[in-house]
Amino acid sequence: MPRARHFAKQGPFILVLAAVLGLVGTWILVHQPAAIEAREQVIQVNRGAGLRQIASQLHEAGLIRHPLPFVLYAKARRMAPRLQAGEYVLSASMSPVEILDRLYRGKVMHHALTIPEGATLRDIAALVKAKGMGSEQRVLGLGSDPAFIESLGLTVPSLEGYLFPDTYHVTRDMDLAELLTLMVRTFDENYVSEIAAKAEGLGLSQHAVVTLASLIEKEAQLDSEREIIAAVFHNRLRRRMRLQCDSTVIYALGEAFQGNLRKADLRIDSPYNTYRYAGLPPGPIANPGRRSIDAAVAPAAVKYLYFVATKENGAHHFSNTLKEHNRAVRKYQLNR
């Protein structure tokens, strides 16, 4: 009986000691990396994954030695509910605490998504798909969704023209609505008050400016010619001449365009066919960059009404009269 009483007295002390040793052991294990040197690897933490599932995934990838200390430490620090999904660049040379910190702070891997100037909504949808960020149809659907467009403060039928060309550093699992919102907000930042003031002075709405800028973007190959091409379009609009812009016909043809415009193509019945209908098309035919938007409201002080590509470094020949233009067409296009 005395021995039993002795153990009964020592029981609480042993339990406390075991708990302390357990805590110390856990602390040591979560601060020791699984390897001294190791290569980085990309780990995808899926949305809805629980703490134990994440710990098991890290263990199977060789990033942590033991899942249990990882789980216990995360629970003790109350980090479990706030571990974020996404792609992470991790290494076994990082301690479990360091790995937990990245997951907790959401230090996910970012990818560069470059939207070139003059890209269309369809082009952007294809780029998004190529990056593995989502489906083309989802982008196209959002781009013409009235409710979504209205939520962005726009009263236009499509986001064509308002998805600003830039390089965006985004996560692969970024919501596509969030991505398109980012592009529209970048457009808002670039459509500065100075541009709006110049547009008002020319009697142009924002939508007209963006539409005109998209034509300039598709036609201009050289920065030095943007303001001159803008002037040609302004001059023709002022005279109520048809713009006769090949790029609008190509846009109207869509996937039917085979790479070369034919005479039959110029007769297509579409409001975007500026060979048939006067004035600007009903909306942008691409997403213009800042330089083309600036040119749309600051055309060069020239009287040109025509231009034709010379096939030399993207340059154009500009003409005041149809007679001069026809000579240029024979020289630079037909003779070739």
Q: What is the CATH number of the domain that holds 100?
A: 3.30.1490.480
Indicate the residue among 171, 190, 209 that finishes a domain: 190
Domain presence at residue 81:
yes
Indicate the residue among 190, 220, 247 that finishes a domain: 190
- Mean pLDDT, residues 308-336: 87
pLDDT single digits (tens) 46-93: 988 999 999 999 999 999 999 999 999 999 889 989 999 999 999 999
Residues 180 and 128 in one domain: yes
Residues 129 and 214 in one domain: no
* Distance from C-alpha of 30 to C-alpha of 24, rounded to nearest angstrom: 10
Domain presence at residue 36:
yes
Residues 212 and 179 in one domain: no
Domain count within the chain: 3
Domain presence at residue 26:
no
Residues 300 and 231 in one domain: yes
- Predicted structure pTM score: 0.82
Domain presence at residue 238:
yes
* Distance from C-alpha of 77 to C-alpha of 239, rounded to nearest angstrom: 72
pLDDT single digits (tens) 5-33: 554 555 554 544 444 444 555 667 778 88
Domain presence at residue 126:
yes
Range of the domain at 229: 195-304
Is the distance from CB of 100 to CB of 115 less than 8 angstroms?
A: no
Indicate the residue among 105, 132, 167 that finishes a domain: 105
Residues 208 and 284 in one domain: yes
Domain presence at residue 318:
no
At a CB cut-off of 8 Å and minimum separation 6, what does 131 contact? Answer: 111, 113, 172
- Mean pLDDT, residues 121-125: 97
Domain presence at residue 72:
yes
Domain presence at residue 319:
no
